[in-house]
């Protein structure tokens, strides 16, 4: 391939119209103080985009973010800064999220400095030590002057958590925070998130592809598929009385006998979700073992299975109609 050919290929690629992707569509979520809400779905479901949209790390075409009952005006710099202090994020990869050239004290203190919140070196050090301790790094002074490469994966993720805690947030988006960690240290990080929720009243959006992890730590679970919430409710209810066929398919691969003992396992078939090609009607219909004519034409909306449990599936109405006709 000549240089000229490469250039024309590149030009073609750059001028090509990219398909419009509606990664998150019509999602309405409320997360309460002192609550962990897990957002569960396969890759391509839009869960990470939703986490970023809530923090305004990506632009939202339509919709708004309400924080402590007030709509956040992201055109207003002061308001945006206040929101950013109170809403933090923990990323998946503790190996990439920490600057390898900085000492732990500088990494954790950075949000304080960016926001002009410390005046003296003593105050800075004290606040970093408190955040490290809150993140379970004890004794904190033994971590201050070390570099990320001197720490284990679990310790690095705790440093990332400390830098999320240092501004005393009210809400944290934790995006797959244990998926890059060794299985043996995952439980410690999950336990820490639950402790922080309880001791500080923190609200978490816990993003994961692993339904069993979600069940372990959350108060409520929301199941996402191709940008929409398919089912939402209290953790135990979603796991033990799953209503949506997609949730049921995710449960079928969960290694928990207590949940799967009485279930007839079905392997989810069909293509993985593709946000550039969303099927008409129910977006899950090409993979749904229960799909019927209506599913291919009409998109189901979330409806109550019981007061705290919602699912978006035409089967709910079908079942209710059948029950009525039997009465």
Q: List 228's β-bridge partners, or say none.
A: 225
CB of 285 to ligand SF4, least distance (A): 4
Stretch binding ligand SF4 (CB under 6 A), from 52-60, 105-113, 206-214, 285-293: 285-293
Nearest-10 Cα torsion for 36, 39, 250, 190: -40
Stretch binding ligand SF4 (CB under 6 A), from 187-195, 198-206, 255-263, 281-289: 281-289
Which residues, other chains included, contact 250 with Cβ-Cβ below 8 Å and sequence gap of 6+? 40, 211, 223, 268
CB of 316 to ligand SF4, least distance (A): 8
The bridge status of strand 203-208 relative to strand 220-225 is: unpaired
Q: Is 314 in the site for ligand SF4 (CB under 6 A)?
A: yes
Is 223:283 a contact under the CB 8 Å cutoff? no
Cα–Cα dist 317/119, whole Å: 61
Upstream peptide bond of 139 is cis (omega within 30 degrees of 0): yes
Candidates 190, 282, 302, 305: give the one binding ligand SF4 (CB under 6 A).
282
Candidates 295, 302, 305, 310: give the one binding ligand SF4 (CB under 6 A).
295
Q: Is 285 in the site for ligand SF4 (CB under 6 A)?
A: yes
Cβ atoms within 10 Å, residue 23: 18
* End-to-end alpha carbon distance in the chain: 73
Cβ atoms within 10 Å, residue 106: 15
Q: Is 125 in the site for ligand SF4 (CB under 6 A)?
A: no
Candidates 203, 284, 305, 310: give the one binding ligand SF4 (CB under 6 A).
284
Q: Is 291 in the site for ligand SF4 (CB under 6 A)?
A: yes
CB of 303 to ligand SF4, least distance (A): 11
Phi, psi (degrees; rounded to nearest 5) at 233:
175, -175
Stretch binding ligand SF4 (CB under 6 A), from 2-10, 103-111, 151-159, 277-285: 277-285
Is 83:72 a contact under the CB 8 Å cutoff? yes
Q: Is 41 in the site for ligand SF4 (CB under 6 A)?
A: no
CB of 286 to ligand SF4, least distance (A): 8
Q: Is 290 in the site for ligand SF4 (CB under 6 A)?
A: yes
**Of 43, 325, 308, 85, nearest in space to 176 by CA:** 43
Copy the structure tokens of residue 224.
């996402």
Q: x/- binding map, residues 238-267, to ligand SF4, per CB under 6 A?
A: ------xx----------------------
Cα–Cα dist 51/47, whole Å: 6
Q: Is 232 in the site for ligand SF4 (CB under 6 A)?
A: no
Q: Which residues here bind ligand SF4, judged by CB under 6 A?
A: 244-245, 282, 284-285, 288, 290-291, 295, 300, 313-315
């Amino acid at each position: 391939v000549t240089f000229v050919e490469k250039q024309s290929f590149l030009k073609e690629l750059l001028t090509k119209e990219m398909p419009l992707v509606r990664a998150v569509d019509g999602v309405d979520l409320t997360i309460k103080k002192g609550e962990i809400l897990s957002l569960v779905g396969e890759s391509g479901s839009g869960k990470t985009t939703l986490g970023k949209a809530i923090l305004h790390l990506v632009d939202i075409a339509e919709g708004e973010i309400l924080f402590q009952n007030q709509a956040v005006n992201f055109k207003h710099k002061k308001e945006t800064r206040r929101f950013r202090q109170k809403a933090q994020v923990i990323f998946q990869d503790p190996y990439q999220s920490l600057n390898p050239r900085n000492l732990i004290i500088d990494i954790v203190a950075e949000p304080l400095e960016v926001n002009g919140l410390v005046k003296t070196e003593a105050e800075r050090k004290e606040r970093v030590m408190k955040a490290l301790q809150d993140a379970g790094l004890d004794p904190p002074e033994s971590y201050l002057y070390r570099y990320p490469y001197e720490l284990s994966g679990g310790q690095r993720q705790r440093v990332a958590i400390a830098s999320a805690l240092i501004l005393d947030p009210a809400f944290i988006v934790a995006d797959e925070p244990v998926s890059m960690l060794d299985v043996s240290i995952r439980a410690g990080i999950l336990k820490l998130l639950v402790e922080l929720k309880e001791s500080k009243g923190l609200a978490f959006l816990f993003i994961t592809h692993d339904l069993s992890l979600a069940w372990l730590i959350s108060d409520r679970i929301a199941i996402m598929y191709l940008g929409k919430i398919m089912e939402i409710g209290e953790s135990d209810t979603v796991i033990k009385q799953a209503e949506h066929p997609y949730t049921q398919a995710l449960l079928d691969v969960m290694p928990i006998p207590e949940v799967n003992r009485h279930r007839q396992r079905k392997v989810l078939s069909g293509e993985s979700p593709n946000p550039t090609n969303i099927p008409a009607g129910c977006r899950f219909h090409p993979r749904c073992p229960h799909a019927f004519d209506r599913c291919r034409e009409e998109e189901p909306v979330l409806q109550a299975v019981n007061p705290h449990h919602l699912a978006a599936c035409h089967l709910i109405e079908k079942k209710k109609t059948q029950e009525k006709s039997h009465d």
